[in-house]
Structure 1
Amino acid sequence: MPVLPGAEPYRHEGGEVGVLLCHGFTGSPQSLRPWAEYLAARGLTVSLPLLPGHGTRWQDMQITGWQDWYAEVDRELRELIARCEHVFVFGLSMGGALTLRLAAKHGDAVRGIVVVNPANKVHGAAAPALPVVRHLVRTTRGLTDDIAKEGVTELGYDRVPLHAAHSLRKFLRLVDGELPQVTQPLLLMHSPQDHVVPPADSARVLSRVSSTDVREVLLEQSYHVATLDHDAERIFEESHAFVDRLAPTVTTRGGSTTGG
């Protein structure tokens, strides 16, 4: 199945500081592409993979689970670690949960992490019923386009496969148990008005990680997909300043870019 135009993975060969970006559940690299390009323009090596089952059609996601999504970002991270002197991981929503697990598992190999509206739990009254309901109902309505900015659209699925949602629920519970293993410097940015992931998820993450270098930033003008919203530029600037503080060797500019 061909990848939807705009959902292609993105890579940029820059300097000795690398950043892995992880997109969200039912979304695609499109939601993080401007962030990735901002970092690439400042000399960083950037990897923004397309998660398995994403960026094509929802039926392809129906046969994937969290192990597939995590394996993809884990592989990309290992490649960056082999290539770069310092490596950071950034993520949006479920991508934030992927980021937190990578940090818990890879330890000092990850220099720091940035998460935007990180998911910690599948909410809703029907969530506990997912183990059974997924065998009776294939999909529910989509989660995309929670954006305050007029005229901006997120490229993602308009349906959520319940098999994948069940797998996401199991994954988020797993990550929650691993949060105390997260020790890296952490920049957490979240939207008080988020209609997909409530602020309680960010509060939970902040309360459970073991990181001591922690900064919280409120994105007052944005909804869930803040990387495409009014606060996008602030996210880009804050994250680059975070990297520059922890790995101030970023001096190389240029490089080559691949992707759609």
Structure 2
Amino acid sequence: MIQDSSYFLPGNHNGVLLIHGLTGTPNEMRILAKGLHQAGFTVYAMQLAGHCGDEADLCQTSWRDWYASVQEAAQFLRERVDNLFVAGLSMGALLALKLAADQPELVKGVGVYGVTFSYDGWSIPLWAKQLFVLLPVLKKLHLFQKTSFIEKPPYGLKDERIRATVAASMFSGDSASAGLAGNPFPALAEMQALAKLMRQRLSQVKAPCLIMHSGHDDIANINTNARLVEKHVSGPTRFVVLDDSYHLITIDRQRREVINQSVAFFENIAQSA
């Protein structure tokens, strides 16, 4: 059964919509949400459609469903603030960029954290890197639709204490807390379709982008993911490379740096507006 794990933190007239990643939960944005809220921001950490349930729940949705839930959340937040910012982690960053491309008059700035177009980090096996590219085709042919890619350590986390806590939650079946342990092939195929679309549409992103990515990302290589955004968006960018984290930068060792950079970036835009 899907639980509603989203949360809303009322603050000033500057709002930040936070979007978690594929198979993740709003919990992976909670530390950042609290940091932004302490700085005065109104924060809404939304839950993507099909998430915080089981694999069957997720596989019943498409990237269009995930994006529809982002649009709904953005509408909820825009009714309560004057300036709206959007920030996402991993696949959530793709959805944040899509919202900025679709509604340039709405989105004042984008937080792009560990953006993932390709699963090509150092922990991803070669066979998986090659297979993931074929997943949209396999989905159309209805092949391997009951298969999942089970994550292996370090699970996007360099901090061993946090890694142990997250892994225990994932494998306990508490998907509302730490997300799913496996990435179902149908969901991965949907994400590949979203990534393909956003590669083509990056130039339509005119809002300023704060791009933060680990230089040692185990899931998504910085050069083929974050640098892609830096190179192709039309708006101004600030690029921050983290050297003591892995993929899940919002909860890993440099989570405080993510908060500080985000607060300064969004505040600067709000003051200019």
Q: Deviation of residue 52 (structure 1)?
A: 1.3
Is this contact kept in 1: 2:35–2:259, CA < 8 A? yes
Check the 8 A contact 2:24/2:52 in 1, yes or no.
yes
| Structure 2 partner of 1:184 | 207
Deviation at 1:82, TM superposition (A): 2.4
1:68 Cα shift?
0.8
For structure 2, list consecutive stretches of 5 or more residues without a partner in the other structure: 121-128, 167-177
**For the residues of structure 2 that align with 1:222 and 1:117, how far apart are their CA atoms?**
11
Match of 1:67 in 2: 64
Task: Decide whether the 8 Å contact of 1:90 with 1:113 is kept in 2.
Answer: yes
Residue of structure 2 in register with 1:125 after alignment: 130
TM-score normalized by structure 1?
0.89
Residue deviations 1:118-168 (CA, integer Å, cap 9, x gap): 112355101232134342322222348210001114412111111111111
Rate the CA distance shift 1:68–1:143 in 2: closer, same or farther, 3 A: farther
Higher relative contact order at CA 8 Å, sep ≥6: structure 1 or structure 2?
A: 1
Q: 1:14 aligns with which of 2, 7, 11?
A: 11
Is residue 2:230 matched to residue 1:206? yes
CA pair 240-143 structure 1, distance change in 2 beyond 3 A: farther
Secondary structure of the equivalent of 1:193?
A: coil
What is the aligned counterpart of 2:20 among 19, 23, 28? 23
Q: Which residue of 1 aligns with 2:157?
A: 147
Which of 42, 46, 55 is 2:43 aligned to?
46
Kept in 2, the 8 Å contact 1:149–1:229? The answer is: yes
**Which amino acid is 1:221 matched to?**
D
State the SS of the aligned residue for 1:90. strand
Contact 2:88 2:111 in 1 (8 A): yes
Tell me, in whole angstroms, the C-alpha distance in 2 between the residues paired with 1:109 and 1:40: 20
Q: How does 1:106-255 map to 2 (within 5 A)?
A: 106-123=103-120, 124-134=129-139, 135-137=142-144, 138-143=146-151, 145-153=155-163, 154=166, 155-199=178-222, 200-211=224-235, 213-248=236-271
- Name the structure 2 match of 1:252: none
Aligned equivalents of 2:203, 2:137: Cα separation in 1: 31
SS in 1 for 2:16: strand
- Secondary structure of 1:108 counterpart: coil
Alpha-carbon distance in structure 1 between the residues aligned to 2:198 and 2:58? 21
Q: Give deviations 1:98-133, integer Å, cap 9, x for gaps.
A: 010010011021111111111123551012321343
Query: Cα gap change, 1:208/1:161 in structure 2, threshold over 3 Å: closer, same or farther?
Result: same
Partner of 2:171: none
Distance in 2, Cα, partners of 1:176 & 1:122: 14
Bigger mean CA deviation after superposition, 118-127 or 136-145: 136-145
Size of the aligned set, in residue pairs, is 246
Mean Cα deviation higher: 23-32 or 155-164: 155-164
| Unaligned segments of structure 1, at least 5 residues | 250-260
Give the root-mean-square deviation of aligned CA atoms.
1.8
Secondary structure (helix, strand or coil) at the match of 2:161 reads coil
1:2 CA displacement: 4.4
Deviates more, 1:79-88 or 1:182-191: 79-88
